[in-house]
Structure 1
Amino acid sequence: MHIRVIVPVIGDDLLDRVIEEVQGWAGPGTTVDAVSLKRGTASIESEYDEALAAPGILDRIVEAKVDGVDGVFVTCFGDPGVHAAREIIDVPVVGGYEPAMLTAMSFGEKIGIVTVLPNVLPMLHSLSRRYGIDNRVGAIRVIDLPVLGLEDRQTMVDRLYEQSLDAIESNDADVLVLGCTGMLGVVQELMNRLTEAGHRVPVVDPTGAAITWLEGSHRLGIFPSRSTYMPPPAKERSI
């Protein structure tokens, strides 16, 4: 299986770290490559950022279709451009939110999301309504670090732990989801610290959920439904 990872930001600084993380989740026989955007933003932390990133994401989707990949991961928890992409490519396409949240629903009643900034809260509430799971979201907490500040790993882990612990002890979460795909390589440490504090609660990594979801979809031989994701009508478009 060939998975194309679209890092929906401009610049190549994150590519090596993302590829390393994705390869750690991918199973035997899965090959991975990654591309960033030629046009867009340095990070996605608002609806405005998502709108600016979408054209660049769809450019990369067209390239992925030509390259004959078997699945696409748009590595952002906001699922930018994902539903539009499903209209123009016949392989599974996911972002970070949908596979992580649907996985979490199988392991606990109330889902807690721990994300980056207050700016993204309206986006995440909107996504939960779109997917019809808002009644399962018990809490959305923020660690007050921007996406580009997540390189401060120790601060990120400490704040993730503090917010996760509070959500659990407030009875707002039975299972946790990392609310940013930039939270790389921290899920096991976070679960260990929660366990040491007396809380054996699962934490879902959105990158891991997305990659294993794509692999499972490929094995099942399934693809975007053309009664939902209808091909766009032919017309003149300026791109």
Structure 2
Amino acid sequence: MHIRVILPIIGDSLIDHVRSEVAEWAAPDTKVDAVVLERGTASIESEYDEALAAPGILDQIARAAEDDVDAVFISCFGDPGVHAAREIIDAPVVGGFEPAVLTALSLGEHVGIITVLPNVLPMLRSLARRYAIQDRIGTMRVIDMPVLGLEDRDLLLQRLEEQAVDAITSGEADVIVLGCTGMLGVAAELQERLAAAGMKVPVVDPTGAAVTWLESCVRLGVTPSRTTYLPPPAKDRSA
């Protein structure tokens, strides 16, 4: 099985870290490679960023189709370009939001999403409405740290724990979802901290949820439905 990770940013400073994280979640027989964008933004934290990144994402989707990969993970919790990508590749494609939240819905009644900045919240609320799950989202919270500032692991875990504890004790969340694929390698420790505080609540890592979801789709032999994701009509285009 071959999974391609599209890191939807320009610059390759994070690519080795992301590739290693995905490989840790993947099965031993799964090949993982990763690419970045030739045009786009340094991170996606707004609708504007997402719009600028979309052409670069679709360029990489076209290359993934040419390379006959088995599945594609667009490594961003905002699911940028995911639905457009499904129209042009015969392989399962996910971002971070859909697999993480749908996994969380099987683990508890109300889901609490903890993301990076207030700018991101309208995007995530829009996704919740699209997937018709807004009534199961108990809360969406921020830690006020930009994507490119998440390398401070201690501060990241401190702020995640503060928001998670408050969401759980206030009855707003039965499951915690990390709302940024840049929150790498902290889900297990956050879950342990919550358990130590008497809160046995699962914490869903969006990268892990995406990778294992894609592996399951490939093993099931399923790809995007062509009654939902119809191929785009032929016409002149300049992207």
CA–CA distance in structure 2, aligned partners of residues 185 and 151 of structure 1: 11
1:226 aligns to 2:226 (yes or no)? yes
CA–CA distance in structure 2, aligned partners of residues 84 and 122 of structure 1: 20
For 1:90, give the aligned amino acid. Answer: D
CA–CA distance in structure 1, aligned partners of residues 174 and 32 of structure 2: 33
Alpha-carbon shift at residue 19 of structure 1 (Å): 0.6
Alpha-carbon shift at residue 230 of structure 1 (Å): 0.2
* Aligned residue in 2 for 1:63: 63
Alpha-carbon shift at residue 28 of structure 1 (Å): 2.0
TM-score (norm 2): 1.00
Question: Cα deviation per residue 1:136-195 (whole Å; 9 max; x = unaligned)?
Answer: 000001000000110111100100000000000000000010000000000111001000
TM-score (norm 1): 1.00
* Aligned residue in 1 for 2:238: 238
| Structure 1: unaligned runs, 5 residues or longer | none
* Aligned residue in 2 for 1:109: 109
* Aligned residue in 1 for 2:134: 134
CA–CA distance in structure 2, aligned partners of residues 153 and 58 of structure 1: 32
Count, aligned residues:
239
* Aligned residue in 1 for 2:24: 24
* Aligned residue in 2 for 1:7: 7
For 1:173, give the aligned amino acid. Answer: A
CA–CA distance in structure 1, aligned partners of residues 164 and 74 of structure 2: 25
CA–CA distance in structure 2, aligned partners of residues 209 and 18 of structure 1: 14
CA–CA distance in structure 1, aligned partners of residues 66 and 213 of structure 2: 22
Alpha-carbon shift at residue 104 of structure 1 (Å): 0.3
CA–CA distance in structure 1, aligned partners of residues 136 and 28 of structure 2: 34
For 2:120, give the aligned amino acid. Answer: V
CA–CA distance in structure 1, aligned partners of residues 212 and 112 of structure 2: 21
Alpha-carbon shift at residue 215 of structure 1 (Å): 0.2
* Aligned residue in 2 for 1:120: 120
Cα RMSD over matched residues?
A: 0.4
Q: Percent identity?
A: 71
Alpha-carbon shift at residue 237 of structure 1 (Å): 0.3
CA–CA distance in structure 1, aligned partners of residues 115 and 17 of structure 2: 19
CA–CA distance in structure 1, aligned partners of residues 12 and 121 of structure 2: 27
Q: What SS does the corresponding residue of 1:48 show, helix, strand or coil?
A: helix
Q: What SS does the corresponding residue of 2:33 show, helix, strand or coil?
A: strand
1:173 aligns to 2:141 (yes or no)? no
* Aligned residue in 2 for 1:159: 159
Question: Cα deviation per residue 1:184-210 (whole Å; 9 max; x = unaligned)?
Answer: 000111001000100000000000000
* Aligned residue in 2 for 1:94: 94
CA–CA distance in structure 1, aligned partners of residues 89 and 207 of structure 2: 21
* Aligned residue in 2 for 1:72: 72
Q: What SS does the corresponding residue of 1:225 show, helix, strand or coil?
A: coil
